[in-house]
Amino acid sequence: MMDANGRVISIGQSEFRCPCHACAFFHSRDQEYELLLPFSKDGAEAGERLFQVVEKTHLEERRRRLAEVGIDVAEAENSRQLEIRPWESAYLRGNRFDQYAMLELIQEVLTDGRSNGFPMTRLWANMEWALDDLPGVHDIVEYETRLNHFLPKYNDVVICTYDLSKFSAPVVMDIMRTHPQVIVGGVLQENPFYVPPDEFLAELNRRAH
């Protein structure tokens, strides 16, 4: 459960206190890597767990880029300090998105990290799976807000990355409202547009009727 003090973590030039659930908006994959590779290296050097979800064709690039910043990828994967999953082993299991199954998986990942002796988990998830034409993907906003029911109980960092060139403006605005912290222009800050989960779920329900 959450340490009363919370650990102070750095992303880019920003420092913040855990727990953290941030949406990170980028215009290219290079921008994403520029910010989150040092964040991953810091976690590896601190003996923390790294859990990452990427598009399957990017798996080898992710491993290569992590190695380039000095992470021993093979050793980290063997020791379970590092786990990189394709979307099909996380968000798109069964070739569909089941938000409740994914909420359970996130809690399992964060709980397992602690039970396996890691002081903290740094979870970095690329969210472009939601652009695929598959059942359930339109539940992404509801899923993101439901995460806020339990993430405050974990002293971990969850960063959901979005390419602004690929998501529509209305989706980007909704996604922003579901994250207590936001990264824009490489700067992490408390999100003034954040809406608590019960309030946002009520709004989504009103929209649907």
Residue 154's domain spans which residues? Answer: 30-164
DSSP, res 166: T
Give the per-residue pLDDT at 8. Answer: 86
Instruction: Kindly report the three-state secondary structure assignment for every residue of 67-135.
Output: HHCCCCHHHHHHCCCEEEEEHHHCCCHHHCCCHHHHHHHHHHHHHHHHHCCCCCEEEEEECHHHHCCCC
Q: Is there a domain that residue 64 lies in? A: yes
The alpha-carbon radius of gyration of the chain (Å, integer) is 16
| Cβ contacts of 181 within 8 Å, gap of 6 or more | 16, 20, 21, 22, 23, 188, 189, 190, 191
Q: Report pTM.
A: 0.94
Q: How many domains does the chain have?
A: 1
Q: Is there a domain that residue 24 lies in? A: no
In the structure, what pLDDT confidence band is assigned to residue 13 with cuts at 50, 70 and 90?
confident
Encoded tokens for 28: 């290219």
Q: Is there a domain that residue 109 lies in? A: yes
The answer to whether 119 and 150 are in contact (CB under 8 A) is no
The answer to whether 194 and 22 are in contact (CB under 8 A) is no
Q: Is there a domain that residue 169 lies in? A: no
Q: Residue 55: give its domain's CATH number.
A: 3.40.50.300
Judged by DSSP in three states, 179 sits in coil
Give the mean pLDDT of the chain: 94
The answer to whether 35 and 12 are in contact (CB under 8 A) is yes
Q: Is there a domain that residue 82 lies in? A: yes
Is the pLDDT reported for residue 3 higher than 50? no
Q: Is there a domain that residue 120 lies in? A: yes
Is the pLDDT reported for residue 6 higher than 80? no
Percent of the chain with pLDDT over 70: 98
The answer to whether 51 and 109 are in contact (CB under 8 A) is yes
Encoded tokens for 203: 């709004």
Encoded tokens for 54: 């990427």
Q: Is there a domain that residue 203 lies in? A: no
Give the per-residue pLDDT at 209. Answer: 83
Chain segment 58-97, per-residue pLDDT in tens: 999 999 999 999 999 999 999 999 999 999 999 999 999 9
Across 106-131, average pLDDT: 96
Is the pLDDT reported for residue 4 higher than 50? no
Is the pLDDT reported for residue 132 higher than 70? yes
Encoded tokens for 197: 């989960």
Is the pLDDT reported for residue 1 higher than 70? no
